[in-house]
Structure 1
């Protein structure tokens, strides 16, 4: 049965029946229907239950769909307040944008979900929300609800490192416990000598006659000030006595000091220490970059192949063939100018993506590219084409066995279980080429060979 696509309205009110929407009075009744939503709309009579509804949506297979409300509920998981007709138009536009994606939205990794979510909401900034109950005082609600692991909510920083997302505006700066990373800390003043909190601010006097320094209470005798050590009458400040800057005394050890030492204590784990040991985390609003949008619109297979760019430096196909032609001519004149031409074909990228998902597949091929890069010499030249082939020109190469080295390299990064990476590797040595061959012919010859 072909599923109907409609705007889903959550309400207990009566709505005029239309083909473009369907009304439900609970999340469960919607799940029991055979309707595929283009988006969601929460009526004002559902305001008391909207949090449950929006949380169910963002955790469901429709996590990326627009969700509007009749009233402005000021929630980061909602897409604002719109009337029904405008909401339908917005949702239909989103459906068209989804068709531009070259991959299925099922089984995406958390990071991919966030990119899709932002792609469908062009210009959206994810703003951190202050939450006094959160470990770090700030949360990104959409990042939190899309996360598989609630103990690791900083995975979005990897997307920023790759320039798929970018920080935009600094919202706040928070100090965190260096033991448990909690922002729930408080500060106490302690004695610099014994670290006890039993300290008291007090006024001190300094007797010029004998040099004794003590609390004002020790000098007070009725209305007079008399030194408890030498019994001198202190009448004039600056002549008989002065007031030192020291204003604190520790009731535990008796130490007198000008300023107490400040330490922090973590409410979450009990750690305490100097405030300069606290970690600092800045919270920014986040937006999707233009590169992130372009990356998302690429075919998944092209995304995987583009990962090789991170570790391998390429030359153009035209330059590669020109260089190869030149070396072929050099070798004909002098056989000391030996070389080898290697071809690596990536054969089952789609199968890898289907089994592991785009994120894990990227990491697998990133590791492969790094290993290939480590194997290459500074003089080796690399070229790639649009058919997922990697060409490597290896000057001053006579020894055979490069195929085995590359195969061992591929095997070293193979997943322990599941689908294995399949590559086709072929090598042509200068000693094996015909006298009249050129670069284009040699490359076509290698490419046409079966593995």
Structure 2
């Protein structure tokens, strides 16, 4: 069966939460089936209703931990359901209310709407987000019955920046950075306008909301440095032209992203998309305020950047250029290391350079201080006074003498001391870390423009969260029949190798038409009962009652024959999966 385990964060959140009873109020049968499937598989009790009146009745008579409410339902909207429940003096315990809507910005524009809901989730639903929200709310206690209080940002409303008059829609940080808006994502916003922040890391929550990391960051504080896309703190006069050019550039490049990447919750995909949309490489800079001594030109922790970028380099989507080599503390992993010359014997840094003398008569050599007795030079070995330079002695060079233990040596040892935890390390033993600049490769650009199909099936894993909702429901039914009766089925996954060249030469509409005609012909020529479903980067065909062995030998030739009938060859690559392959 498909991988029905979404990303780790969402799965752990759902399983560790205390929520046991969930109400889903949604008039779409596909979304009903999807939510019931993924939530019941995780041990949650799920009730489904189709309109607002049924939802209100269910909340009044049943004890739910969380209610997922479609904002625009028949009979009564989600907002009306919550308001009527909260106004009822005989109401029972108040569940957590989560709004589901395709018009996030419209919902958030009214504070009256926002105060009724604990979270807002945008359609189409992201399964990992659903599980994460349910897990988080399941661990929290519902508030006492009654209207939820408005939670204003600390410090109250800011004085309005003239930049807000340029004509774009701004997410004003931190005043608009409540959980509802961050969960809802970037829909309805053109840029992030930062009124208060101390470091770029303060804006890291932008990476948790869908698409918020792809908005330009305009800094009014002057403290974000390279973490912002535009520092407007010290700019006088009219900045409208610069802001317009910045926001329009981001918007144009964001629109060119393939939907697979633009909607992805994978941190690697988010990082690739950010590099592309910003129009700049991922550039490191030395930053003494950071324990790791390095920051990047975005609002994401450098440790996260380094881990994600390293994986992308391994996949060939990013190239790494050497920037610097840092020494790292073995105890606390800080890169703020003090390098110093030390005594090879006691490791003290209190060493001084001094001349050493060579007594010709007895051949003794040592620091001048060993010879010095008042104003005279007396050999410590033979006790003869040295009177004449060049005849009795000479000064062939210098040596280092430790003022702590008296040890003398020609060369010092090199040591490190961590400025954060004080751990001392010998130079030969201290660990190092290489820092790199990262830039998109040709494959990285191709992936951003063409989506998962560009990588081919070899790099893709068939994941539950990537499949169309209709296919998830149908596939789950086939799997149940297979487990109960042994009835075979086959799933075909279709990628299109030639999507990019066709779209570049003839336009995206021409490729879409070619793809649509290919799937129509494929559905007609497969055995009866085949269900063809269009997806994002891939299309799918589900063949109930037909095992993969009956399909594998002929599907490749069938695809070629169909392609030969089309004006353009989509380069269809068809992969065959059976029940055991998907188990």
Deviation larger for 20-29 or 109-118: 20-29
Match of 1:290 in 2: 442
1:427–1:13: structure 2 CA closer, same or farther, 3 Å change rule?
Answer: closer
Match of 1:135 in 2: 291
**Partner secondary structure for residue 459 of structure 2:** helix
Q: Is 1:67 paired with 2:217?
A: yes
1:273–1:57: structure 2 CA closer, same or farther, 3 Å change rule?
Answer: closer
1:98–1:211: structure 2 CA closer, same or farther, 3 Å change rule?
Answer: closer
Return the TM-score normalized by structure 1.
0.56
The CA deviation string for residues 39-87 of structure 1, in whole angstroms up to 9 with x for no partner, is 12649xx478896985564554422122335798773333226944664
1:15–1:258: structure 2 CA closer, same or farther, 3 Å change rule?
Answer: closer
Q: Is 1:189 paired with 2:302?
A: no
**Partner secondary structure for residue 158 of structure 1:** helix
5 Å-filtered alignment, 1:245-256, equals 245=397, 247-250=399-402, 254-256=406-408
Match of 2:428 in 1: 276
Deviation larger for 264-273 or 153-162: 264-273
The match for 1:204 among 346, 356, 361 is 356
Q: Is 1:162 paired with 2:315?
A: yes
Q: Is 1:353 paired with 2:466?
A: yes
Mapped to 2, the partners of 1:229 and 1:178 lie a distance apart of 45
The match for 1:12 among 159, 162, 187 is 159
Q: Displacement of 1:236 after TM fit?
A: 1.7
Mapped to 1, the partners of 2:378 and 2:343 lie a distance apart of 29
Match of 1:365 in 2: none
Q: Displacement of 1:89 after TM fit?
A: 6.3
Q: Displacement of 1:294 after TM fit?
A: 0.9
Cα RMSD (Å) of the superposition? Answer: 5.1
**Partner secondary structure for residue 214 of structure 2:** coil
Mapped to 1, the partners of 2:265 and 2:387 lie a distance apart of 83
1:223–1:171: structure 2 CA closer, same or farther, 3 Å change rule?
Answer: same
1:30–1:206: structure 2 CA closer, same or farther, 3 Å change rule?
Answer: closer
Q: Displacement of 1:203 after TM fit?
A: 3.6
1:113–1:206: structure 2 CA closer, same or farther, 3 Å change rule?
Answer: same
Is residue 247–residue 258 contact of structure 1 (8 Å, CA) maintained in 2?
Answer: yes
Q: Is 1:39 paired with 2:146?
A: no
Match of 1:338 in 2: none
The CA deviation string for residues 256-283 of structure 1, in whole angstroms up to 9 with x for no partner, is 3222222223344554443233344343
**Partner secondary structure for residue 108 of structure 1:** coil
Is residue 246–residue 259 contact of structure 1 (8 Å, CA) maintained in 2?
Answer: no
The number of residues matched between the two structures is 333
Is residue 131–residue 139 contact of structure 1 (8 Å, CA) maintained in 2?
Answer: yes
1:36–1:30: structure 2 CA closer, same or farther, 3 Å change rule?
Answer: farther
Q: Is 1:113 paired with 2:220?
A: no
Is residue 54–residue 77 contact of structure 1 (8 Å, CA) maintained in 2?
Answer: no
Mapped to 2, the partners of 1:262 and 1:448 lie a distance apart of 61
Is residue 160–residue 167 contact of structure 1 (8 Å, CA) maintained in 2?
Answer: yes
Is residue 456–residue 495 contact of structure 2 (8 Å, CA) maintained in 1?
Answer: no
Match of 2:324 in 1: 172
Mapped to 2, the partners of 1:232 and 1:269 lie a distance apart of 51
Match of 1:359 in 2: none
Mapped to 1, the partners of 2:371 and 2:166 lie a distance apart of 92
Is residue 116–residue 296 contact of structure 1 (8 Å, CA) maintained in 2?
Answer: yes
Is residue 199–residue 251 contact of structure 1 (8 Å, CA) maintained in 2?
Answer: yes
Is residue 191–residue 216 contact of structure 2 (8 Å, CA) maintained in 1?
Answer: yes
Q: Displacement of 1:114 after TM fit?
A: 0.8
Q: Displacement of 1:207 after TM fit?
A: 2.7
Q: Displacement of 1:240 after TM fit?
A: 1.2
Mapped to 2, the partners of 1:59 and 1:388 lie a distance apart of 29
Match of 1:102 in 2: 259
1:66–1:225: structure 2 CA closer, same or farther, 3 Å change rule?
Answer: closer
Mapped to 1, the partners of 2:209 and 2:385 lie a distance apart of 84
Is residue 301–residue 350 contact of structure 1 (8 Å, CA) maintained in 2?
Answer: no
Mapped to 2, the partners of 1:57 and 1:289 lie a distance apart of 25
Q: Is 1:387 paired with 2:488?
A: no
Is residue 11–residue 23 contact of structure 1 (8 Å, CA) maintained in 2?
Answer: no
Is residue 263–residue 275 contact of structure 1 (8 Å, CA) maintained in 2?
Answer: yes
Mapped to 2, the partners of 1:218 and 1:50 lie a distance apart of 55
Return the TM-score normalized by structure 2.
0.45
Q: Displacement of 1:251 after TM fit?
A: 5.7
Match of 1:312 in 2: none
The CA deviation string for residues 118-158 of structure 1, in whole angstroms up to 9 with x for no partner, is 22233x1222122113233112252634x8xx678432111
Q: Is 1:235 paired with 2:235?
A: no
